[in-house]
Structure formats: structure tokens, C-alpha cells
């Protein structure tokens, strides 16, 4: 989730537990990045990357 590794405006990722996640980094703007998980037929927000944490990729719980 490091900012320097983000090459696209949206990224889909498959992990070893077969979860499908989507990262929207919002690079170059002060808006927090968003991390979603696919649950059934919906994308559910599972974390945010605060603007001050974009360089390090630290994900915080939504609303926190």
C-alpha cells in the first residue's frame, strides 16, 4: 500500500485467503485512500489511508 508503489488509480488484489480487495489511493490529492473488500455482490469499505499515512501505506479502520 506504499504510495511509491501505486501506479494506477485503482488496484484489485487477490490474497491467499481468496479475498478480493480494491485500493483507491487518490494520489496527489489530500483525500484519504480507500480499501474495499468484495463481499457477495458488493464492495465494502474496510479501511482508509489517511493523507499523512499515504507514503507509508498505513491503513486505518473506516471512521477512525
Strand-pairing partners, residue 47, are: 35
What are phi and psi for residue 53, nearest 5 degrees? -105, 5
- Considering only CA atoms, give the Rg of the chain: 11
pTM, 2 dp = 0.74
The DSSP-derived string for 8-22 is SS-EEEE-TT--EEE
Is the Cβ–Cβ distance between 37 and 25 less than 8 Å?
no
pLDDT of residue 36: 94
6-60 per-position pLDDT tens digit: 666 666 667 777 788 888 988 888 999 999 998 988 999 999 999 999 988 899 9
Residue 63 — pLDDT band, cuts 50, 70, 90? Answer: confident
pLDDT of residue 58: 93
Amino acid at each position: 500500500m506504499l504510495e511509491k508503489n501505486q501506479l494506477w488509480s485503482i488496484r484489485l488484489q487477490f490474497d491467499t485467503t481468496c479475498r478480493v480487495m480494491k485500493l483507491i489511493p487518490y494520489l496527489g490529492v489530500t483525500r484519504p485512500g480507500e480499501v474495499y473488500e468484495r463481499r457477495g455482490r458488493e464492495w465494502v469499505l474496510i479501511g482508509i489511508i489517511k493523507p499523512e499515512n499515504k507514503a507509508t501505506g498505513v491503513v486505518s479502520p473506516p471512521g477512525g
